[in-house]
Amino acid sequence: MLYGRERERQTFAELLTRARRGRSAALVLHGPPGVGKSALLDGFAADAAGVTVLRCTGIESEAELAFAALHWLLRPAAGLIDRLPGPQAEALRSAFGCGTAAGQDRFLTGLAVLSLLAEYAADGPLLCLVDDAHWLDQASLDALLFAARRLDAEGVVLVFAQRDEFPLPAGLATHPVGGLAPEAAAQLLDSSAPALTRHERGRVLAESGGNPLALQELPGSLAGSTALGTLPLPRRIQDAYGRRIAGLSADARRLLVIAAAEGTGDLAVTERAGAYLDLDDTALDEIERSDLVTVTGPVLTFRHPLVRAAAYHGETSGARRTAHGALAAVLDAADDADRRAWHRAEAAPGPDETIAAELEDTAERARARHGFAAAAAALERAGTLSRDPARRAARWTAAADAALQAGLRSRAGTLIDKAERLTDDPAAGAVLARLRAQVAAGNSALRQAHGILIAASGRIATLDPELNLAILVDSIRLAWFVGDLELLRRSADLLRAGPWPNDELRNRARGGLALEQLADGRHDLAQPVIRAMVDAARNPRTPLPNRINGAGIALVNGEFAAAREIAVAVVAQQRTLGTIGGLPATLQIRALADTFENHFQDAIAACDEGLRLEEDTGQAYYVAHLRAARALALAYCGDEEPCRELAGQALSAFAVDGAINGATVAHWALAVLDLGLGRYEPMLDRLEANAAGPARHQMDVIYSAPDQVEAAIRFGDPDRARTPLNRFTRWAAIVNLPWARAIEQRCLALVSEDDAAETHFRSALNLHTDSGRPFEYARTELLYAEWLRRNRRATEARVYLRTALDRFTHTGARPWAERARAELRAAGEATPTVATAADGIGSLTAQERQVVRLAAQGSSNRDIAAQLFISPRTVSHHLYRAFPKLGVTSRIELVRLAL
């Protein structure tokens, strides 16, 4: 019976009511040991009449076995795996040891979990209860948290319970579980220990702090005790269990430590291990009568995790090794290989190469299933068991690599330290240096990471050219992010020096040099290599990393249409492959390309998805970049408050990690916002400071130059237009892109007079017809119309103002649309505001917009769900909400909308 938990049960009842209506939720219960979290989960299950319930419990001894907890939780739903999209189904089969997942992404398993839960909930609400979540293996935890954060309209309630001393998962609702109120505590104590004296009763109530487990266990410790409260409460309870265990026979204690070491509750394995050690047949009956464990069919369950801790840690290290050795001996089935290896490792008194090799095999199996945290743990232990220092260092190096892939940077750094102390081979040291640079970059120390790579290159330049090339290309990119031309030149000089023994390495080296040439203003030298990289990136058969690099290099070369085309294709490819972890980087490229191509709402949607994925996957590197990109798109739309907030957050982050290339985007966002709102002086001051500082080598300084020119003219200070105009015209002549030539002509028109100005305006308009970028086309039309009106040609001006207003409205650039309306009124034409399809589209959320667009293209709910990493029922929910906003009643009607 639950005492005093009315608030928690009410919270759960509300979640369950929502689930019965098709809505989902996730909740984390947290509190100290013994506070009643498990009892609450039992109560939730009992209260969920008519609801399907799935349960699992984190087990400390299985924390290094990839996907062990997930397999336990989802076994009842395993028959539905074939209903999932192919990559998701294969990822889940691989997680359960029934398939391979080569080339797939570790986060795809989380998406598969979401889809499987949605399928299982198709016939009614589903309740998933995860106890002792702090002891889940990392792979299971990652997958479940990924799914939990994306629950929406599936009718699933997912509840985690964990201890306070472990970090709470981000992005989920939490509920602290504290001690019972005095009245409830007294009721529980009276029901469990009715024979206490008044004094004893008061003492237990006072010292228990309302902790239910303490209320039940401390009464047995009162006899002869005068210092009940000298230790922390969990330790006092564990000691109370320890005293009870000490009263058992020797064989019962040995069997109890075997059960604690076994961990999964498999009674048959525990009994076989006991028989292996010739323990008395009555030992099981004795520990069961002690009320420390319960036996239900084939399952042995400890009364509380603190009982297991007392049984295991209360014995000597020798007794624990004996227990693990017995378990290893009886776990002889093929699918027990990983558990057997870990038990053998725990039983080993010292280095053992055979066991180390078995753990290495365990790590390889975990890595193949994307259980990188489990692989790191196995390799770390394998290194400890290795006799040869070189083998030990190699295994710790592999463990560090796996830890980085699992997002465990601190652990990776520790492993690198340990491996470096044993490494004198230059090539092995360079591999470690590359890993250390990844740790440093992930910790926002970009300059430090660059220095590590340069030092490593000097040690292996002639020993391993391919590794040296990879290190130097990494260093070039870091220097580009930092925006330091000296660092770029240092890396580029080494890249030019080589030596590169074959054409493939020489071509890759030339590709790396393109960034230095762009930053140094030598755009003409970079063009042949860039064009080749962009052309290769368009080819679907080109390796995915090269396609992403091609999209990025197109973006920094002003080839925005190509960057958008490639990024859209790569995002689709990543969705199909399920490479979720790599999507935020590509989505950031796509968002900037969308913005430069004037698809502002698409850019916002891409940023929102990237930010959500960064949170879901525990990656944080691209958060600031995505915020800056979103701020830029919002600036064109005139959304001042969120733009300033996001740009400020991004600039604060870039001030720490020194990523100048991201900071220029954030500064530009604030400048565009001021330009649209008519605040020309602060806009000019910002961009001029940006162009004169460390960011002066970044491409955004060139791309924003036309904004400076317009602001200077509108501010009435044409002298401030001269420098940015020269900067832009020099670059435009080299790249010879239609959009760049069009904007160059517009800028020349702004600084010219009379007939020369009109000639430049008309030339710009002709060039715009072939260059895309409707917002920029509209800006030229607006500026030309303003010039026409000033020259008393209002009738001609109205023609351009109408089309400019249409383009601004369609792109969502509200400040410029308002300016075009004002000009139209000044030119003698009324511009009533009327509701349009664009208004409805603008009212959609970013995800609703994505769903609607895909639905308009004919994609099914299941296909849309697979692409957007949500469930089909969530897709249906978004369409249900979007249709009234768009004024349609069916998917067929979506086709006629300009989406």
Task: Write out pLDDT tens, residues 110-141.
Answer: 999 999 999 999 989 999 999 999 999 999 99
Asked whether residue 47 is assigned to any structural domain, the reply reads yes
Residue range of the domain that includes 132: 6-176
Paired residues of 715 in beta bridges: none
Asked whether residue 792 is assigned to any structural domain, the reply reads no
| Structure confidence at residue 833 (pLDDT) | 54
| Average confidence (pLDDT) over 293-301 | 93
| Pair 90, 219 in one domain | no
| Pair 24, 160 in one domain | yes
* pLDDT greater at residue 234 or residue 313: 313
Listing DSSP states for 810-823 in one string gives HHT-HHHHHHHHHH
Q: How far is CA 717 from the centre of its chain?
A: 46
- If we measure between CA atoms, which residue out of 800, 796, 802 comes closest to residue 831? 802
Paired residues of 131 in beta bridges: 57
Please say if the pLDDT value at position 757 is more than 80: yes
Q: What's the DSSP call for residue 279?
A: -
Domain-terminating residue out of 330, 346, 364: 330
Rounded Cα gap, residues 709 and 194, in angstroms: 86
Instruction: Using DSSP bridges, classify how beta strands 299-302 and 293-296 pair: parallel, antiparallel or unpaired.
Output: antiparallel
| Structure confidence at residue 226 (pLDDT) | 44
Rounded Cα gap, residues 868 and 846, in angstroms: 12
How many distinct helices (H) and strands (E) make up the chain?
Answer: 46, 7
Paired residues of 54 in beta bridges: 128
Rounded Cα gap, residues 694 and 856, in angstroms: 45
Rounded Cα gap, residues 91 and 98, in angstroms: 10
| Pair 18, 39 in one domain | yes
| Pair 36, 146 in one domain | yes
| Pair 225, 326 in one domain | no
What residues contact residue 828 under an 8 Å CB cut-off, 6+ apart?
A: 794, 798
* pLDDT greater at residue 732 or residue 893: 732
For the chain, what percent of residues have pLDDT higher than 70? 96
| Pair 12, 156 in one domain | yes
What residues contact residue 868 under an 8 Å CB cut-off, 6+ apart?
A: 575, 609, 847, 850, 851, 854, 875
Q: Under DSSP, is residue 524 helix (H, G, I), strand (E, B) or coil? A: helix
Rounded Cα gap, residues 380 and 397, in angstroms: 9
Question: What pLDDT band is residue 223 in, cutting at 50, 70 and 90?
Answer: low
Please say if the pLDDT value at position 832 is more than 70: no
Domain-terminating residue out of 330, 346, 362: 330
Please answer whether residues 135 and 37 qualify as being in contact, where contact means their C-beta atoms are separated by less than 8 angstroms: no
| Pair 43, 107 in one domain | yes
Question: What pLDDT band is residue 847 in, cutting at 50, 70 and 90?
Answer: confident
| Pair 44, 29 in one domain | yes
Torsional class of 484: left (φ above 0), alpha (ψ -120 to 50), beta (otherwise) = beta
Residue-wise pLDDT for 775-814, tens only, equals: 999 999 999 999 999 999 999 999 999 999 999 998 999 9
Amino acid at 22: G
For the chain, what percent of residues have pLDDT higher than 90? 63
Three-class SS string for 461-485? CCCCHHHHHHHHHHHHHHHHHHCCH
User: What are 516's two structure tokens?
Assistant: 């230095």
Asked whether residue 649 is assigned to any structural domain, the reply reads no
Asked whether residue 578 is assigned to any structural domain, the reply reads no
Domain-terminating residue out of 280, 299, 330: 330
Taking residue 231's Cβ as centre, other Cβ atoms within 10 Å add up to 12
User: What are 376's two structure tokens?
Assistant: 């790191």
| Average confidence (pLDDT) over 472-494 | 90
Q: Under DSSP, is residue 63 helix (H, G, I), strand (E, B) or coil? A: coil
Q: How far is CA 237 from the centre of its chain?
A: 39
| Pair 71, 218 in one domain | no
Please say if the pLDDT value at position 369 is more than 80: yes
Asked whether residue 259 is assigned to any structural domain, the reply reads yes
Cα distances from 777 to residues 180, 481, 564, in angstroms, run 68, 31, 18
Asked whether residue 190 is assigned to any structural domain, the reply reads yes
CATH number at residue 132: 3.40.50
| Pair 18, 153 in one domain | yes
Question: What pLDDT band is residue 100 in, cutting at 50, 70 and 90?
Answer: low
| Pair 32, 167 in one domain | yes
| Structure confidence at residue 834 (pLDDT) | 46
User: What are 315's two structure tokens?
Assistant: 């014995």
Question: What pLDDT band is residue 770 in, cutting at 50, 70 and 90?
Answer: confident
| Average confidence (pLDDT) over 50-68 | 90
Least confident among 591-605, 637-651, 849-863: 849-863
| Structure confidence at residue 835 (pLDDT) | 45
Cα distances from 691 to residues 352, 520, 698, 703, in angstroms, run 61, 14, 9, 11
Paired residues of 27 in beta bridges: 159, 173
Q: What's the DSSP call for residue 266?
A: B
Least confident among 64-73, 226-235, 265-274, 750-759: 226-235
Residue-wise pLDDT for 400-421, tens only, equals: 999 988 888 899 999 999 999 9
At residue 133's C-alpha, the angle toward residues 315 and 301, to 5°, is 50
Burial of 226 (0-12, 13-18, 19+ CB in 10 A): exposed
| Pair 160, 23 in one domain | yes
Question: Crossing angle for the helix pair 485-497 and 465-482, nearest 10 degrees?
Answer: 160
* pLDDT greater at residue 669 or residue 220: 669
Question: Crossing angle for the helix pair 861-868 and 872-886, nearest 10 degrees?
Answer: 100
Rounded Cα gap, residues 511 and 817, in angstroms: 42
* pLDDT greater at residue 774 or residue 228: 774
User: What are 830's two structure tokens?
Assistant: 């009324």
Please say if the pLDDT value at position 720 is more than 60: yes
CATH number at residue 855: 1.10.10.10
Q: What's the DSSP call for residue 26?
A: E
Helices marked H in 618-718: 623-637, 640-657, 660-676, 680-692, 699-703, 705-715
| Structure confidence at residue 857 (pLDDT) | 83
Question: What pLDDT band is residue 35 in, cutting at 50, 70 and 90?
Answer: very high
Asked whether residue 471 is assigned to any structural domain, the reply reads no
| Average confidence (pLDDT) over 525-540 | 92
Residue-wise pLDDT for 867-881, tens only, equals: 888 888 899 888 988
Q: How far is CA 863 from the centre of its chain?
A: 22
Q: How far is CA 255 from the centre of its chain?
A: 43
Asked whether residue 365 is assigned to any structural domain, the reply reads no
- Most confident range, picked from 555-559, 752-756, 778-782: 778-782
Count the domains in the chain: 4
Average pLDDT, the chain: 90
Residue-wise pLDDT for 444-473, tens only, equals: 888 999 999 999 998 898 889 999 999 999
Least confident among 194-203, 303-312, 430-439, 615-624: 615-624
| Structure confidence at residue 407 (pLDDT) | 82
Please say if the pLDDT value at position 104 is more than 80: no
Handedness of CA 305, 309, 312, 317 (dihedral sign): positive
